[in-house]
Amino acid sequence: MLDRLIDTLSNLNALSPTHTEDFEKTLSDIASQNDPDCIGKLVKFFRDDAKYDELMFSIIHTIEVFEDVTYTREIQKSLPTLWAQSPKWAMILHVRILNSPSTLDAYITQVSETSVVERHAIYKTLQAVESKWPEFSGRCKLIIDRLAIL
């Protein structure tokens, strides 16, 4: 069922204003599946040149409903691909993670379970966040320091 819904979303990805409601409805159907596998599948839809940022935020809201441990694990696993295709949205996701104490704690804990490739993507993303939003430097450093000891 999840794969069918993802396929439907893919077909809507060449969005026109009339498809936004269909996109939102399909996201709602995906959310109702309560399947954490959707996180990795949905991050593939992030595009820095997206015509409708509000649809990108709808994807964020769909994936943020999962428990922090599940959410952060899946984001970290997906980050190498996400960073390569959409650094803007990778940074936005990380700012949201950094703004939530419980999600940040889960993210820091999950770092020890990441691969070398995932750690590299985490590092690059956090460096970019620090550069764009210096007010997050301290929280980025918490994660970067954790990466350094692994």
pLDDT tens sequence across 7-21:
999 888 655 667 888
Mean pLDDT, residues 92-107: 98
- In DSSP notation, 82-130 reads HHHH-HHHHHHHHHHHHT-HHHHHHHHHHGGG--HHHHHHHHHHHHHHH
101 φ, ψ (degrees, to nearest 5):
-55, -40
- 142: which residues sit within 8 A by CB, 6+ positions away? 104, 108
Provide the pLDDT confidence category of residue 135 given band limits of 50, 70 and 90. Answer: very high
Mind listing the pLDDT tens digit for each residue in 104-128? 999 999 999 999 999 999 999 999 9
Up-side HSE of residue 127: CA atoms within 13 Å toward CB?
8
Q: CA 50, CA 84: separation in Å to the nearest integer?
A: 15
Q: Write down the pLDDT at residue 21.
A: 87
Residue span of the structural domain in which 83 resides: 2-149
The number of distinct structural domains making up the chain is 1
Per this entry, what is the length of the chain? 150
Q: Write down the pLDDT at residue 16.
A: 64
Q: Write down the pLDDT at residue 11.
A: 87
Place of tokens 């954490």: 36
Please report the sign of the dihedral spanned by the C-alpha atoms of residue 33, residue 38, residue 42, residue 43: positive
Q: Is the pLDDT of residue 52 over 60?
A: yes
Mean pLDDT, all residues of the chain: 94
Q: Write down the pLDDT at residue 127.
A: 98
Q: Is the pLDDT of residue 4 over 90?
A: yes
Q: CA 68, CA 20: separation in Å to the nearest integer?
A: 28
In percent, how much of the chain has pLDDT > 90?
Answer: 88
Single-letter code of the amino acid located at 40: G
